[in-house]
Each structure stands twice: as C-alpha cells, then as structure tokens.
Amino acid sequence: FLLTQPHSVSESPGKTVTISCTRTSGNIASNYVQWYQQRPGSSPTPVLFEDRRRPSGVPDRFSGSVDSTSNSASLTISGLQTEDEADYYCQSFDSDNWVFGGGTRLTVL
C-alpha cells in the first residue's frame, strides 16, 4: 500500500494547519499511524505515534486523528510557530512492511 500526502502546505504564524495522509489500499484504521517532523539539516523525530499520542516533549499543539470514511489520517498543528517549519512524514505498517508517506513541506510565513 501507499501513503499519499500533499507535497506542500503553508500557513501564517498563530494559525492552524492540517496535513492529510491517505492510505491507497487497506483500511487506515487497521494499523496505527505515526508522524515525524524533519527540520532542515536534521534527522526525523516522531511528533505523534499510535494515531494521536504525543512523545514526551512534543507540545499539545500537535494532534492527530484517523478517518475511516476518507481512509486517511491527519496531523493538525495549532498556534503555528516559525519553528514548526519542516517536512512532515506519516508512517504506517502492514505485513512486515513499514511504509512512509512522501512527505509534506510545511512553510510558516
């Protein structure tokens, strides 16, 4: 299966942005979805795991959801800050195979 993300999104500081991740085959709800943030020049770090749980240290401005109707997961970032500008990748799993989405570049302008 594939995970499809928008190539890029942009929003102003203080606003809210949502990034989608659509699973092309199989049920999005059948395996947890994770989200990773990768700032320029840095390695990825998880910002959400098990659809909506935040690792220690990740602010509650980051939230996640899954929608079986659209077969997609979403990452929502509220109160955007300039430090949120990064690439975001969704990731899920099926049959001994871990799959990443193509990534979404978030620009905070």
Partner 1 sequence: EVQLVESGGVVAQPGGSLRISCAASGFNFDDYAMHWVRQTPGRGLEWVSFITWDSVSISYADSVKGRFTVSRDNGRKSVFLQMNNLKDEDTALYYCTRGSQLGDVQYFQQWGQGTLVTVSS
- Longest Cα separation, the chain: 40
Structure tokens at 81: 């800050």
CB of 10 to partner 1, least distance (A): 19
Residues 88-107 that bind partner 1 (CB under 8 A): 89, 91, 93, 96-103
CB of 28 to partner 1, least distance (A): 15
**Per-residue x/- track, 29-68, partner 1 (CB under 8 A):** ---x-x-x------xxxx--xx----x-------------
Contact 107, 15 (CB under 8 A): no
> Can you give the length of the chain in residues?
109
Contact 80, 108 (CB under 8 A): yes
- Count how many Cα atoms sit within 13 Å of the Cα of residue 1 in the half-sphere of its side chain: 23
How many residues of this chain bind partner 1 (CB under 8 A)?
Answer: 21
Stretch that binds partner 1, among 16-24, 60-68, 71-79, 85-93 (CB under 8 A): 85-93
For residue 21, the surrounding DSSP H or E stretch is strand 17-23
Residues that bind partner 1 (CB under 8 A): 32, 34, 36, 43-46, 49-50, 55, 89, 91, 93, 96-103
